[in-house]
Copies of this chain bind each other. A is one copy, B any other.
């Protein structure tokens, strides 16, 4: 679980927005937030996993965090979202996994609360998001179980979980595809005047010809050994964290901006694409009464961090062969350098 080999987009010189990033350029730059992955790669056909995003390391059933949901295109099997919309809080970490494992992951969070947290909940609103990885993994096998959920949650709640975040073919993102290239987990952050915004995505959406990076239509310029065929999976989960003292309505308006960051990477949001955003704040205090104009830099940060998280997922993910011999190619960075050069973005020199 310690591979960080490929450069991230920003290290490569890709410019995505104008605001400053946090220390790790990750959702973990938001105070208290931890991320853990459990990655399951076995044999020829199993390429799956689960990712946990913990708003804090404590007991969320007791110390809930304010939260909100935007359903840009609610094609998806996620659990727990209606209650978040009405109650405005999260009472579990957010879990990300592969479609057909969704319910097993949710069920295993109940086990985790009992066994690891000593909680005896008789009701629990478990939040699980999913995207479909059936092109690279035998998803019908539903291989994710209690032990993977425990591994992801344990790590997310540990001090190590609050540092650098692994991206690409890890956790829930293991078998995913982004714009016809290998996709998966990506993250980024922005720091403004008295606030931090973090984004983490599980990228599994988009068609190759639509991909734009920093406004450059790289998708149609890049050539691959074989052009991607359509997979049935085609979604994105976007998680937005902040430390701002905002209420659920304000978080919802922030969450809606994540779709604008997604749009900058070129997708039109296909019908079968579940484009969900879940936002939460670790901020303890409520904002004082005033208008929402103070949110403008926060919205901008949300757009930028989401866009960069998506691009980071593409930069980090490596070529993978899986189920039925299917292959997804990593986005070829050498071609990117050349294409960016032609489009006036000489980022390789940075």
Contact = CB atoms under 8 A, between A and B. Distances in A.
A103 B126 contact: yes
Contacts of A139: 122
Contacts of A134: 122-123
Chain B CB within 10 A, most for which of A100, A216, A233, A345: A100
A77 B79 contact: yes
Chain B CB within 10 A, most for which of A232, A247, A264: A247
Q: Count identical subunits in the complex.
A: 4
Contacts of A272: 293
Given A107-B107, A343-B343, A344-B344, A100 B124 contact: yes
A76 B80 CA distance: 8
A273 to B, nearest CB: 9
A271 B284 contact: no
A295 B73 CA distance: 13
Contacts of A342: 344
A104 B72 CA distance: 28
Contacts of A337: none
A269 interface: yes
A227 interface: no
A270 B249 contact: no
Interface in A194-236: 209, 212, 214-217, 232-233
A73 B125 contact: no
A299 B269 contact: yes
Contacts of A82: 71, 74, 76, 78, 81-82, 276
A140 B71 CA distance: 31
A64 interface: yes
A271 B247 contact: no
A316 to B, nearest CB: 23
Interface in A254-298: 256-257, 259-264, 267-272, 274, 276, 284, 286-289, 291-293, 295-296
Interface stretch (A86-94, A153-161, A166-174): A86-94
A123 B73 contact: no
A142 B77 contact: no
A18 interface: yes
